[in-house]
């Protein structure tokens, strides 16, 4: 369930309330205390299925961003009816777009976490320690720009998709650079023996593409988009990063140690994984949006 607060002039309040009711998904509209300078604040419950239409109406009324606030509420009781997509199972497109815009930019926290993932991944590859590699996957936030790019593609917002893709690539490049620097530094200081070879690691399979690479990446893309919509990205991020962080760490370490053959193999695996993540994530969101539009059209006829 969503909650709307809307500041409007007195003489427009009745017409605005009537238009909101006409959407079929805005309920319990109440007028709060008058604003200073004349005007009222309208508050209402909004079903996620009509949120985009409500925002469209607000823009048609030429209201500024400071005049309205649309927030999500977690409904504890009564329990939503079973067997149909309502409440928490329905996503508002405007909400998904907002999340995508937020995570399409290379924020400092994103880059810092990708660098940390590079360190953990590099040590995991060098010591042949899968636990450290899993730790790097848990730290990595690369799921967010991947999903933001998918949203941009489905919405036809090319600038958004491009910005998110650039953010993703910056994070991956940083992971590569940090992993390469760690491997090179350890060998330079003598901590890592000069005869160490990455292809002896149990993770050497990350440099080869097979049927499992394709299937895992496609499934991960579906999970990524569903978790992004429900804000469960932190919980699902480990499963998504299995397609990106291990290969990125292997590429960086092998590049830092001069094993070019292994590094290019890992880069190929990473490229295929990212492409398939974008493909399945975009398809998942497109199908969901089509179903929502189809359901909305059925209820209005």
Give 259-272 pLDDT, tens digit per residue.
887 888 888 999 99
- Residue-averaged pLDDT of the chain: 84
- Does 296 or 134 have the greater pLDDT score? 134
Residues 6+ apart with CB under 8 A from 71: 2, 3
* Cα–Cα distances in angstroms (integers) from residue 202 to residues 197, 250, 289, in the given order: 12, 11, 42
For the segment 162-189, the average pLDDT, to the nearest whole number, is 94
Question: May I ask the CATH architecture of the domain 2-90?
Answer: 2-Layer Sandwich (3.30)
For tokens 């569903």, name the residue: 226
Residue 298 pLDDT > 80, yes or no?
no
Write out the two tokens for 48: 């996620």
- Does 289 or 154 have the greater pLDDT score? 154
CA 116/CA 120 separation, integer angstroms: 6
CA 282/CA 277 separation, integer angstroms: 8
* pTM metric for this prediction: 0.77
Can you give the pLDDT at residue 264? 86
pLDDT tier at 128, thresholds 50, 70, 90: confident
CA 23/CA 111 separation, integer angstroms: 42
The count of C-alpha atoms lying within 13 angstroms of the C-alpha of 10, restricted to the half-sphere facing its C-beta, is: 7
Can you give the pLDDT at residue 85? 36
List the beta bridge partners of residue 27.
45
- The helix (H) or strand (E) run that includes residue 191 is none
For the segment 80-93, the average pLDDT, to the nearest whole number, is 51
CA 60/CA 19 separation, integer angstroms: 12
């Amino acid at each position: 369930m969503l909650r709307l607060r809307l500041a409007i002039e007195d003489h427009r309040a009745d017409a605005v309330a009537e238009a909101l009711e006409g959407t079929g998904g805005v309920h319990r509209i109440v007028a709060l205390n008058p604003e200073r300078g004349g005007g009222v604040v309208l508050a209402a419950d909004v079903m996620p299925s009509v949120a985009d239409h409500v925002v469209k109406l607000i823009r048609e009324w030429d209201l500024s961003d400071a005049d309205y606030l649309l927030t999500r509420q977690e409904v504890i009781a009564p329990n939503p009816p079973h067997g149909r997509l309502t409440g928490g199972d329905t996503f508002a497109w405007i909400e998904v777009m907002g999340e995508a815009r937020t995570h399409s930019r290379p924020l400092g926290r994103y880059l810092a976490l990708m660098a940390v993932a590079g360190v953990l991944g590099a040590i995991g590859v060098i010591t042949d320690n899968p636990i450290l590699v899993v730790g790097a996957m848990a730290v990595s936030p690369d799921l967010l720009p991947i999903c933001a790019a998918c949203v941009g593609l489905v919405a036809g917002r090319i600038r958004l998709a491009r910005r998110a893709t650039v953010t993703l690539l910056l994070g991956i490049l940083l992971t590569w650079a940090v992993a390469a620097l760690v491997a090179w530094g350890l060998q330079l200081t003598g901590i890592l023996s000069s005869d160490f070879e990455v292809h002896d690691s149990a993770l050497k399979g990350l440099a080869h593409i097979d049927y499992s690479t394709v299937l895992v990446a496609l499934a991960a893309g579906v999970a990524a988009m569903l978790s992004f919509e429900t804000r469960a990205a932190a919980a699902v991020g480990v499963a998504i990063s299995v397609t990106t962080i291990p290969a990125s760490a292997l590429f960086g370490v092998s590049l830092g140690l001069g094993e070019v053959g292994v590094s290019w193999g890992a880069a190929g695996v990473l490229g295929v994984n990212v492409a398939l993540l974008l493909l399945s994530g975009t398809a998942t969101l497109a199908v969901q949006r089509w179903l929502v539009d189809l359901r909305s059209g059925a209820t209005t006829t």
